[in-house]
Each structure stands twice: as structure tokens, then as C-alpha cells.
Structure 1
Amino acid sequence: MPELSVIVHGPNTQDHLTGLLDSLTAHPLPDVEVVVAAVGDWARETAERHAPHVQVLPLPGGTTDAAARAAGAARAGGRWLHFVRAKDGLPPGSPRTVAERAAELPDTVDVLLLDHLRSTWRSSGLPSADGPLLTRAGRTELTLDDSGYLLRLTPLLGTRVLRAAFWRAHEERLTTDDEPRAALAALLLAGRLACLPHIAHEDRRLRPASLPPVTAEQHLALVDRYEALLDLARERPAVYTVLYEIMVRDCLRTFARGGMPEGVAEEFFHRASLAALRRRPEGHRRPAGPEGIRRSLLEEGAYTRYRAFQTANRARRAVRSAVRAGRRQAAARVRDHQYRTALRRPVDPHLAVFAAYWNRGVACNPAAIAAKLAELAPHIHPVWVVTERNAALLPPGTDHVVPGTRRYWEVLATAKYLVNNVNFPNAVVKRPDAVHVQTHHGTPLKRMGLDQMPFPAAAQGLDFDALLERVDKWDYSVSSNSHTTRMWERAYPSRFVSLDHGYPRNDVFYTAGAGDVRAVRERLGITPGRRAVLYAPTHRDYEAGWTPRLDLAALADRLGEDTVLLVRGHYFYDAGVSPLTGLRRSGRVVDVSSYDPVEELCLAADALVTDYSSIMFDYANLDRPIVVHADDWETYRTTRGVYFDLMAEAPGPVARTQEELTGILTGDAWRDESAAKARAAFRRRFCEYDDGRAAERVVRRVFLGQDEASLPPVLPVGERTPAPTPEEATAS
């Protein structure tokens, strides 16, 4: 019996079935079977071209989705069933991930919940809003009565993998052409649930103009859907209340946005009103404010007054929007006047403006350059651009400006040097005698700049014309290796000069001594002799928030008391609640997401575990073990785009599952001869210019005007001595 049956069902709408089956048959798996309930001749012909890797079940044209699902399930032999509409998609590698997770689950679990991507006819690979809810649920088994918030997940049947025995027991209730109704019913009928907070489904929305218009009956059926679902939850107060809230919200939203003809809209409002009043939980309180007014009018059935309320709200929003726009325009005029006035002043040859990571503080390559500048060119005064929130965290005595203030625009207008590891705002004018230095903040594995154009999930609405205008202001671009130099020239085509001097932030990996390593470990509470593994994953453009790819508590238990996990979440996710909150005080899992600088964490670690983060290129300078955990490589490569195949050119062993990672770290594979050879090849390619004197070369070249021939030459990789390992630091 296969572990998982993927049941693809429906007609080959707009030929999306071809791509779906291509992805499924590219890497067939022994514990995953594919059953295609092909509706119509085109779907049948498409499916037959993929035989024998798929089982083809021909169905007559016009067969409904519900009937096709049922037919496919009857043919399937797997322990778990994953229903996928022919128009939708499965990210590369997701069937394997789902099958592995399903194999871990006992028969007491009925439904496995997945995260998904959203795609439309205009864009692809957009994150869903479900990630935070699935992360909150974690990987433990749970019941809906204790986790009613899971009803707020997007109601897609493709994000619910059903145990086959559960499907057979409830097939009659789950066989409906109303997919959201089936998706919600699956949760209500399940005994226990489990979650896989990884991307394993793609919901593809077709262009509405290509679909039949929504009928009045389909609009009105929304109310019937929730009436039937509330009947299933009648004896479960907590679940009932959440479902009631979802019903009212969905009805009001559909009424406001549905574009229904007036007669249909009035009938819909009437039916929703009766349901909202009749189904209202005892003692249930309406929210305050406009939402409370909407619900009150709905329950009263006050259609005319509700329409008047809508009209008045639109008018108020228009007025408020106009007022805000006027204020913004006035503020912009003041700012522009201040900036234009400052631009008429002479450029100050002794003033340098520094910024890093969208004005987060003193960090990265700009910080290393500023430190060397104080040593070699103390006559140049540095001013940092820092947000008001982060200003309190600056080192004492740091001269800084807050974005938007008068002095902010004055220093940007008059500074001779502007140094940043991202871009300065579009409004910044490039003066002919000013020097802009782009330091970047990593070696590119993922696609950057113009190379993001084919990857909308990564670009996320990036204005490429505005990007090129910012790039054209660069005088210098700092690079750490020839791969990076070539990729920057490709991704950011302009006339800047590449400074092939190394990344200044990586100098510390050659200048730090044993005392520095011991001091960092002491600050982190790592006792001598204990192995510290730094886990530093990157962010996913296709996920709404940070979803840990590992069960960190389980990993820490398997690694034992002699190992501490230093977990570094990506800075893009620092605004939310950390999923590490419950683990950070265990002693064996330390949340270092807010610890700066990250280079000190690298010095403290005996080994690095990462996925696709550029930290691997920096850490390789230390010549210490690196393990790549790449459970979603195919999805990442497809949605983000990459410059080379990390699986073939990794800096050490690669784990595709948590079990493989655990085996590597509990054995010798993380630091054996094979790992050392892979790391050596990686260092030769990607640590090419990093030798401990990068900041000096940049300062002498840019700020002191020395020519290339007079700069300290780059020491070959084989002749460099990295900072001592923690073991060496303890022994010295």
C-alpha cells in the first residue's frame, strides 16, 4: 500500500494539468501513487501521455468536481489521500514532504493540514495568510475543540490531506461541489488533526473573465453552506462560536464585494440576516465600532439602512484619504524645499553617511568600513542613518540622524561619501562630486535585481525602473568573489566600478583571536567543551512568516546535553512573535535572533546549519563544518530562482529531512574528510577576496584615493589563518 495517493481531478482547464503532471512524474516516488480522474477527452489524453507513472481514470466531460474526487478516491490505494484540482499545482518536492510527514502520523489523526502558495493569471508564488496559524499549531497532534482558530485557514480541500479510512467514513458529507464547505467539514468531522507548516499546494486562481459568471443560486448557496456546517458544530460551543464569526464575516464581505445584481443582493442580505440572527450563539457580543454597526444592521435585516451606511462610509473614507494625501503633499513640499536648499551648499569632503539594512543600525559591511575609517582617516566624520526605534540601541557617542528629519536631508545633500548595504531612497540626488558606495550584504545564491523579473514571488511588486535609477547612482560596488562580481554586473547593469576587495564584515574571521572567541561564548553562556551549532535559515518569499523547518526541541534532544543550538531567525521576521518563545529557556536551544553582530555568533559556533542563507559564504571563511538542510530546495529554486545548484556544490553534507540532519550531526559526517573536501572547494570559489584586509582596501581606495596597485594584495586562500576554533581557543 502506498503511503500517499495524490488524486488529480477535473478537466484540463487552460492546459494547467500538463504542468502539474509533468512535475509529479519528473521524480516518481515509491510510496506515492498518482491517480488522475480525468474529466473530458483533453484531460484523458494529457494524463495518458504521463502513463505509466500515473493511473488514468477517464470520466465523461461535464463530470462534477465532487464526482471526480469520489471516483479517484475509489481507485486510490494509499493510506492518505491528497485531492488536487487539475487547474492547481504542487510545488516541486511537496509530495515527498507530505508522504514523509504522513508516515509519522498514527491512525488517530484524520486530517493533515498544509500551507500553500497563491497564484493568479497575473502572478505566481504568492504567500498565503495561513503560515502563522500553522506555525502556532506546531507539529503536535491536536483537536479542533482546543484549536478553533484553524477554522480560519483558507478553506481549500487541497490543503487538507485526509486519511483514507476517514474519507470513506464521511464520504457522503465530504462529497460536494462546494469546495470550501468540504474543506471546513473535514475539520469539523476529524477526531484529531496534525499540521505541516510547509508549502505543499498551489492554489491557482483563474481569470474571472475566462469563467462562467456566478449565478444567483451560487451566491445564495453561501448562506446554506454555513447553516449546514453550524449544524455539525452544534454541540461544540467553542468551535460553533468561531464558525459563526467566520459566517458573518464571509457574508458581509461577499455582500460588499460580490457585485450581485440588486435583486439578488437584497435576497442574499435577507437570508444572511435570518442566519445571523437565528444562529447567533447565546451571550455573543458584537464588536464595537463600524463592524458592530454592520452586524447590528444585518441582524435587523435593515437592507436600505445598510446600503446608506455603506455609502456614508465610502464618503468618509474618501474625505479622510484626501486629507491624508494633502498632509503628505504638504510634508513633501517642506521636505523638498529643505533638501533643495541643502543641495545648493558645497559638498563637505569630510562628511560620510552610513546606513545598513534599511536603517537598522551600525552593522554589516558599512560598520566594518566605518571602524577602519576611524583608524585610517579620522578626519572624515561618520553619520549613521537609523530609525527612531533603533536609535536607542546605537553604541554610545554614535552621531546619527533619523529619516525624514531636517538634518537627515541636510547630511544626505552635503556628504561627500554615502555608504549603504542596501539602497538609499529614490529621492536622494546623486551629486557629481559625491561618492556612493554599495557594499551589499551577501553573496548571491538567490536571484537578485533584474534577475528577479521572472519570479514575482521574489520581486513582490518591485519597481525595476526605479531600481535601475538607484543603481545608476552607485560609484562603487563591493564584492567578495568573482562569482559575486559577475552576478552584480548581470543583476544591476550600470557603470559602477567593482571593488574586488572582499567583504569588510568578514575581516573579523581572520583578525579575531582565542580571547575573542572565548569572550563571545561566555556572553552566550556556552560552557567550555560544549559543541555549539548555529542554525541560521533564510526567509521564504512564498511564506507569510517564519516557519521553522525543524522540530528544534526534538533535534536538541537527539543531539544531547553536550550540544547547544544557537537559533538565528532571519531579520525580515523580527516584527512578529518568535516561534522559539517556548524553547529559548531550555538551555539547549538559545534564541539569538536579536544578537548582533552575527559575525560573533559565527565565531562562537563549532558548526553551521543553514539552508540557502548567504551566511554560509561568510562562515566558510572560518573553515569550520557547514551542513545544508534543504527540505524544500525544489520549491525555493522554482519560486525564488538561483544562480547555481547548491545541491551539487554545497559546502558540506546536505540533509533533505530532519532525520538525515540528525544522523549527520550525531555521527561524523558533519566534519569528516568528505565534508572537508567540499568545504575546501567552496572556500576557493566563494572566499576568494576575503583575507582580513577588505575594509582597509576599501578605505584606502575610496576615502584616501589610493590606486589599485598600492593596495594590500589579496592573500591566497591556502595561505590564510582563520580565527581559532572554540576547541583551539579553549586549549590556548
Structure 2
Amino acid sequence: MPLLSVVLPVYRVQAYLRECLDSILEQAFTDVEVIAVDDCSPDHSGAILDEYASRDERVKVVHLDHNVGLGEARNAGMKHVTGEFVWFIDSDDWIAPGALAAVADRLIAADPDVLMVDYAKVWWNNNSRRSKFSSLVRSENLPRVFTLAEHPNMIRVFHVAWNKIYRRRFLLDNEITYPTGLYEDVPVGYPVLILADRMAVLDRVCIYYRQRRRGAITSTPGRRHFEVFGQYDLLFQHLDKIGERAEPFRALVFGRMLYQCLLVLENRERVAKGDRREFFGALTDAYRRHLPRGGYQPPGGTEGRRQRVAASGSYALWRILWFALTLAGAGRSWAGRAQRTVRLRSRLRMLYYRFQVRRPIDPQLAVFSAYWGKGYECNPRAVYEKMGELAPGVRGVWEVKPGAEGTMPPGVATVTMGTLEHYRTMARAKYLVTNVNFGGWVIKRRDAVHLSTNHGTPVKAMGVDQLKFPAGIQGMNMNWLLKRCDRWTYSVSPNAYTTEVWERAYPCDYETLETGYPRNDRLATATPADVQAARERLGLQPGQVAVAYLPTYRDYEFGSDALLNVERFIDRMPAETVLLVRVHHFDRSHVSGTHPRVIDLGGYPSVEDIYLAADALITDYSSVMFDYAVLDRPLAIYAADWKKYKANRGAYLDVFTEGPGVAARTESELVDLFVSGEVFGETAAATRKVFRDRFCYLDDGHAAERVVRRVFLNEPARALTDAGAVPPVHTEQLQELRSVIDDSQPVDPSAAEDETDIAEEPSAVVGR
């Protein structure tokens, strides 16, 4: 029997679930079991739980056949608990490092019925704030164990489930279960404190309470927030059942009810404007219904004034008070907004755009853009072409930068960015499709559809995850980025892994289209004739072996020495080998035009041609590895600055243990992999298969069709996997393959990580 059982209800948290599970399972304290309850989650959460359970016997998964809500999910998990103590954790939060050991020590030392711990709120922008728990504990001068009767002020501890650890026997003996509905913590949080004979505290932050920017029910306006009154009705029924032991605390609980319900009312993210009068009336009714028989004395100050207004039943008086309390802050906000509006409207073109926005929307007009108007490419191109087949009634127009009009294929309509025609088109189009983001001035019209196709499977940290790595942000305004992402109606994802990342990195209200990337349809359906045509377009000769080198951009530094010395590398390759070099479009610091066997393709418009023409690929942390893997050709990762990159830019994957094919830290190792033929060997192919199974399972040539049918024809996207299924990660198989590589190619631990010198070795024929 473990000392501690963690009950983890899970519903639509695929973006955060791994962080939560890792925070528990990777701690030094291991005498813990995790009872994870899949509350019929419609995303990949259930499969993620199964993945963890398959590799850690401490994880037990309970799959519910229908959604029951947080309270009932906790009850379902409780039936499987075997530990002496139980901790209910919300699956989008996470446990602080070392917290399990600290909790275990306090449980053993105090032997409590209830142990209360501290927490910190953490917002999407990484701002955090510790709760008032610590100041409350210190002001009470608490002994090791105590009762609520001895320290009644502890009723002010936040009434949620996850900041308390309970003795399992205590919960069972008192028949404590959670109710259904929102605010389910209310009828439990106060009675457990009243009933406990032994309470203890741990004055340490043990939980990080995630404040989600979007998606949390507590920050979603709606009628469900009226459920708080039903939960308080149930709470006072429980107090009646407890009897005399609860009477000394009834007024305290009544005050907490007023405090919480007023917070809900005054939160614009909970009670909609049209419901506020009704909610206030319900609060007044609750006040009169639960007013203690001995009366109630409101506290002093602002809180007391708020509560007295609630008791009065005057909605008009509450409106005046609320306005007075918020006037100063709102005034500053309005002033800043007015100044921005004046600056914006001083621009005649913006005035013209805003005039056009007020005109009727064109339901058959779609604007396409790739890389901020760079040209005709990537996912938008694939969607545009498939739209022409399946939705020919929709007219597609591409926005392009001035001077780029001549690069577009014949018959493709364009509009030049910055012209009046451009502003008019952007204002009137129903559909706006891009693989990056449209300018901040673009307004999301009520009936418009914005499709973000994105342009890569992420290896490096993206969106709000970049806030943890300030060296790579380079002055980015994350708040403005997310405001642009708020316009998305749909976001395209190539696989379940990316869906998890996007939902966490871009916490906005959009529908994820997990369809595969449309641009990879061309790779999935390529024929030998397509490959030959691509090679001819690049000027490759018969018999030449083409190796593509496509590195990513180091946004924390320029001219990085971590890039491959292409001339030195190609000199060590056989004479028939040609290196195709295409650096990131943000990086022009490493281009060679002098070596006869190095072809600079930095300005070449189609990366897909390079994929098709290349017999093998070398990259580092670029998303090109996922695209090229569709072709199932040899792949090598050259990661000379891996530690520096992880520290400055952040990474979701370990390219040495989770990457495709083979990996090298130095140029010498990279040359060895090619000279020995290992990059083309069976072990590399097996590792590549694991990678493809995990990331490329949707690349069947129909991704663009799925997107077009959902966006332009309003049909459901046709999923290729079962609902909620995640392709197997094959963790053990991958580790076994990596161990084979490690055994066959031992790495000298003394080798410098950023080594660029290549040992003088005889060349060998590069196999295919």
C-alpha cells in the first residue's frame, strides 16, 4: 500500500497533461500511485494516460464511458485508491519539485486527517503569485496539529480540493464525496475542515495553479456560473447534517459565500453582461435563505460595503459601487486605447480599410498568404489548389509583397500588399488563409473564417512556451501575438503531438484540424517521374547523390558557428555527392557559392522540390525533418550546439533520443555516419520508422482535402485514426534502437560539443 495516492481527473487537457504527470512521476519520492480518470475526454488525453501507464506501473487509468464532470470523476478515482492518504490534483496544474517528499515527511510527522499546502498561481505569460496561505499560517502561529475550533480563521483557506491531502479513512468514514456541476469544491472544502480532528499545514508552495488564457470553464462566461448557488445550498445542508459541531462556523461560511459569489459576479470572464442583474438577484436570495439565525456582521472596509449592497437587494446600488471601484483603472485603459485609435485613424488607408469592413462580406472570396506575402508556397498553396477542385465557386486571391507579383504562376490572382485594393480585399473576404499571421490591423469580422495552416511540426519552443527562454524571444510582444491568434477559426495540425503543443503554446479559441499538413500531400503521392522532374529542375545529373542541408534559424544569435561547414563537409564526400543548401529564410549568414558541389538554394521557391530531389537530408532542429520523413529516406541530425540551443531557445524533443535516423554532435561524427554508410543502414531505418509512426501517420495524400471539406464545404474532417487515438510512441523500442547506435558508435565524452574540425580520413562511397 503506497503512502500517497494522487487522483487525477482528466478532461480536454492534452496540452498540459504530460507536464502534470511528469511533475509527479519524476520526483525523488516514489511511494505514490496515480489514479488517472479519463472522463471520456474527446481529445488525446486518454491515450496519453495509457502511454504513461504502459511504462510506469504506478499509473492506473480508469476510462469512463461517458462524461460525468470533475466531481464524479474524483469519486470514480477514489474507488481505486489504495494509499493511506489521497491528493486530488487538477490535471492542468502541476506539482512543485520536491513537493512529494515534503508532503510525505509532514504526513508521517503529523499523522493528520487533513494536510493543507500552499500554492502559487501561474499565468500564461509566466507571471506568478503566491497565495495568501503563508501569511495566514504565520499570523495564526499554528501548532503541528490543531482543529478548526482552535483556529477558526483557517476557514479562509481556499476551499478547493487540490491544496489539501486527506487521510483516505477520514473521507470514507465521513462519507465525503464530490457533487456534480460547477463549483463542486464548495460543499466539500468547508465540511472537511469542520470534521477533521487533526489538521496540519505545510507552509510551502506544492502546487502550481495554472491560470489558462482560454479553455477553462471558470473563465468562460455562461449560465453555468449560476450553479454556485446550488452548491452553497448543498453546503448548508451538510452543515445542518453535521449539527452542533458546525454551528460556530456557520457565519464564517456565510461570509465566504458572499465573498466568492461577489467575485464571480464582478468577473467579466464568468457572468455575461446580460446575466448580471439576474445573478445579483440570485445572490440576494441566497443571502436571505442562508442568513444565520444569530445574524451576520459584515467585515469592515470595501468588502463589507460590497456585502451590505448584496443584502440590500439593490442592483442599481451595486452597479454604482462596482463602477466606483473600477473607475481609476478603467480610465487609464480607455485613455491608452483612445490614443492608439487616434494614431491608427490618422492613417488614410486604415480609414479606408475600416470603411470597407462595414460593407457586406463577400461569401465567395478567399485571401491566401504565405510567409507574409513572400509567394505561392507551403500549406496555403496546397489548400488553394484543392479548394479549386472541391469548391470552385470560391475565388482565391493571393496577397504578395510589392515586386513579387511576377513570381506567381499564371492564372493565380494577386493583390499587392499596401494598396487600396489590398485593404478592400482583406476587409471584404470571408476566408483568410495564411501559414503565419496576418498583420495586427486585420479585423476578424463576425462571419469571417480565418484558417491558420501553420508551417511546421515544432521541435523548438513556440508561443507562450518561449517565455521560459527570453534569449530567443528578441523583443516579441507575446500579448500582441496571442491577440492575432485569437482571430483563428481553425488551426491545422499534422499530428497528435503538434496538437498538444499548439493548444498550450497558442491558448486561443479555435478548432484544431488534426488532418496532416496539406503541403505534404505532394510528398506522400510522389512518383518516380515527380522525383526525376524535381532533380532536373535543380540541375542534378544522373548518378549524382544529392544530400540536402536544411538548418533552422538561431534567433538568439547571428552567424552561428554551429552551422555545418558545407565546403569542408563536401570535400570529405565522394566525388558524385552534391550538397543542396537552403538556410532558413531569416538567416542569410551562411551561404556558399564557391564550391562546385555545393548548390545554394536559398532563393529557390519550392522546398518540396528539394525534398524530392535529395537522396538524404541533414538538418538540426528544423521542422523539415518531419516533412522529409514522409519520403522515408535517410536522415541525419547535426546538433553541434544542442545544449546551447535547448538553454536559449527551448526544445520539445530530444533530437538524439527521439529524432529520425542518426544524430551527430560534431562534424567528424557526421562525416563518419556518411562514410561508414550508417545513415543508410538498417538501424537508422528502424529508428526512422518509429519516428514516422509517431509523426507522419496522417500523411496519406489527402490532408488538403480534409481541410477544404471542413473549412470551405463545412463538412467534418475525416479522421484517419479512432477518436482520441494517439499513435504509439514506442518508447522502449526507440530506447533499444538508440542503445544499439550508442554501442556501435561510442561518443568520446571528452569531445567538445561545438567541435567543427573534421579528422583527415579517406573518403568512402556513400550508399543509398
The alignment's TM-score, normalised by the length of structure 1, stands at 0.51
Q: Per the alignment, do residues 528 and 331 of structure 1 end up closer, same or farther by CA in structure 2, a change over 3 Å counting? A: farther
The separation in 2 between residues aligned to 1:675 and 1:710, in whole angstroms, is 30
1:450 and 1:677 map into 2 onto residues whose CA distance is: 34
2:636 equivalent among 627, 632, 637: 627
Alignment match of 2:463 (pick from 434, 439, 449): 449
Residue aligning to 1:421: 435
CA distance in 2, matches of 1:551, 1:333: 48
> 2: CA distance between counterparts of 1:622 and 1:531?
16
Q: CA deviation at 1:345?
A: 1.2
Alignment of 1:275-314 (within 5 A): none
**Cα 1:507/1:710, change in 2 over 3 Å:** closer
1:602 equivalenced with 2:611 (yes/no): yes
Q: For 1:633 and 1:433, locate their aligned partners in 2 and report how far apart those are by CA, in whole Å.
A: 45
CA distance in 2, matches of 1:402, 1:655: 44
| 3-state secondary structure, aligned to 1:353 | strand
User: After alignment, is 662-671 or 496-505 more displaced?
Assistant: 662-671
* Displacement after TM superposition at 1:548 (Å): 6.7
Structure 2 partner of 1:693: 702
Show the counterpart of 1:560.
574
Q: Which residue of 2 aligns with 1:363?
A: 377
Post-superposition CA distance 1:478-513 (Å, at most 9, x none): 000100000000000112110011000000112221
- Equivalences for 1:8-47 in 2 at 5 Å? none
Alignment counterpart, residue 668 of structure 2, candidates 640, 648, 659: 659
Check if 1:462 corresponds to 2:466.
no
Instruction: Tell me the equivalent position of 2:625.
Output: 616
1:579 aligns with 2:579: no
- Provide the C-alpha distance between the structure 2 equivalents of 1:537 and 1:403, rounded to a whole number of angstroms: 29
The Cα of 1:673 is off from its aligned counterpart by: 1.2
Q: What residue in structure 2 maps to residue 707 of structure 1?
A: 716
For residues 300-449 of structure 1, what are the structure 2 equivalents within 5 Å?
A: 332-449=346-463
Aligned AA (2:551): P
Question: Aligned partners of 1:565 and 1:707: how far apart in 2?
Answer: 43
Q: Within 2, Cα distance between the matches of 1:640 and 1:405?
A: 37
- Give the superposition deviation at 1:707: 2.2
CA distance in 2, matches of 1:454, 1:353: 34
Conserved 8 A contact 1:532-1:604: yes
Give the secondary-structure state (helix, strand or coil) at the position aligned to 1:559: coil
Unaligned 5+ residue runs, structure 1?
1-324, 719-730
User: Is the Cα contact below 8 Å between 2:709 and 2:717 reproduced in 1?
Assistant: no
> Take 1:582 and 1:713, find their aligned partners in 2: how far apart are those partners?
52
For 1:503 and 1:485, locate their aligned partners in 2 and report how far apart those are by CA, in whole Å: 12
Query: What does residue range 639-654 of structure 1 map to in structure 2 within 5 Å?
Result: 639-654=648-663
SS of 1:423's equivalent in the other structure is: coil
Summarize the alignment of residues 37-436 of structure 1 with structure 2, pairs less than 5 Å apart. 332-436=346-450
* Amino acid of the structure 1 residue aligned with 2:648: T
Aligned to 1:90: none
Q: Deviations over 1:679-724 (max 9, x none)?
A: 0011011113221100011011110111235999999999xxxxxx
Distance change in 2, residues 1:330/1:476 (3 Å): closer
- 2 CA distance for matches of 1:384 and 1:713? 36
Question: What is the aligned partner in structure 2 of residue 683 from structure 1?
Answer: 692
Per the alignment, in what secondary structure is the counterpart of residue 419 of structure 1?
A: strand
Counterpart Cα distance in 2 of 1:398 and 1:463: 34
TM-fit CA distance, 1:544: 2.1
Compute the displacement of 1:541 (Å): 1.4
How many residue pairs end up in the alignment? Answer: 390
Q: 1:563 to 1:479 in 2, by over 3 A?
A: same
SS at match of 1:697: helix
Q: Distance in 2 between matches of 1:431 and 1:652?
A: 46
Matched position secondary structure for 1:682: helix
Seen in structure 2, the aligned counterparts of structure 1 residues 548 and 397 have a Cα distance that, compared at 3 Å, is farther
Match in the other structure for 1:152: none
**Contact 1:697–1:712 at 8 Å: present in 2 too?**
no
Q: Where do 5+ consecutive residues of structure 2 fail to align?
A: 1-338, 729-767
Letter in 2 for 1:536: L
Is residue 364–residue 393 contact of structure 2 (8 Å, CA) maintained in 1? yes
SS of residue in 2 equivalent to 1:670? helix
Aligned mates of 1:491, 1:358 — CA distance in 2: 21
Deviations 1:519-578 (A, max 9, x none): 11112222222211001111111222465722222211211211111111111124x6x6
Q: Does the Cα contact within 8 Å between 1:539 and 1:546 map onto a contact in 2?
A: no
Amino acid paired to 1:473: R
Aligned counterparts of 2:419 and 2:652: Cα–Cα separation in 1: 40
**Could you give the per-residue CA deviations for residues 200-256 of structure 1, whole angstroms, max 9, x where no partner exists?**
xxxxxxxxxxxxxxxxxxxxxxxxxxxxxxxxxxxxxxxxxxxxxxxxxxxxxxxxx
For residues 687 and 332 of structure 1, do their structure 2 counterparts lie closer, same or farther at Cα, with a shift above 3 Å needed?
farther
Q: Conserved in 1, the CA contact under 8 Å of 2:636 and 2:660?
A: yes
The separation in 2 between residues aligned to 1:518 and 1:699, in whole angstroms, is 29
Partner Cα separation in structure 2 for residue 399 and residue 709 of structure 1:
30
Aligned mates of 1:399, 1:376 — CA distance in 2: 18
TM-score, structure 2 normalization: 0.49
Deviation at 1:397, TM superposition (A): 2.9
Contact 1:552 1:589 (C-alpha < 8 Å) held by counterparts: yes
User: For 1:480 and 1:511, how far apart are their aligned partners in 2?
Assistant: 16
| SS of corresponding position for 1:556 | helix
Instruction: Find the counterpart in structure 1 of residue 554 from structure 2.
Output: 540
3-state DSSP class of the match of 2:407?
Answer: coil
- Identical-pair percentage: 49
Note the alpha carbon deviations across 1:58-78, whole angstroms, 9 max, x for none.
xxxxxxxxxxxxxxxxxxxxx
Structure 1 pair 608/691, CA: closer, same or farther in 2 (3 Å)? same
Cα deviation, residue 389, structure 1: 3.2
For 1:471-482, what aligned pairs fall within 5 Å after superposition?
Answer: 471-482=485-496
- Aligned partners of 2:726 and 2:350: how far apart in 1? 49
Q: Are the structure 2 counterparts of residues 565 and 516 from structure 1 closer, same or farther at C-alpha, using a change threshold of 3 Å?
A: same
For residue 396 of structure 1, report the CA deviation from its aligned partner: 2.2
- Cα deviation 1:36-82 (Å, max 9, x = unaligned): xxxxxxxxxxxxxxxxxxxxxxxxxxxxxxxxxxxxxxxxxxxxxxx
Which letter maps to 2:593?
Answer: T
Question: CA shift at 1:403, angstroms?
Answer: 2.1
Structure 1 distance, partners of 2:445, 2:344, is 25
- What letter is aligned with 1:580? S
Tell me if structure 2 keeps the 8 A contact 1:539–1:570.
yes
Whether the aligned pair in 1 keeps the contact of 2:492 and 2:514 (CA below 8 Å) is: yes
Matching residue within 459, 478, 485 for 2:499: 485
Q: Which amino acid aligns with 1:700?
A: R
Aligned amino acid, residue 579 of structure 1: V
CA RMSD, Structure 1 to Structure 2 (Å): 2.7
C-alpha contact 1:607 1:625 (8 A) present in aligned 2: yes
- What residue in structure 2 maps to residue 674 of structure 1? 683
Which SS does the other structure have where 1:573 is aligned? coil
Provide the rounded CA distance (Å) in 1 between the counterparts of 2:346 and 2:717: 42
Contact in 2 for aligned 1:482/1:688 (Cα 8 Å)? no
Check the 8 A contact 1:455/1:640 in 2, yes or no: yes
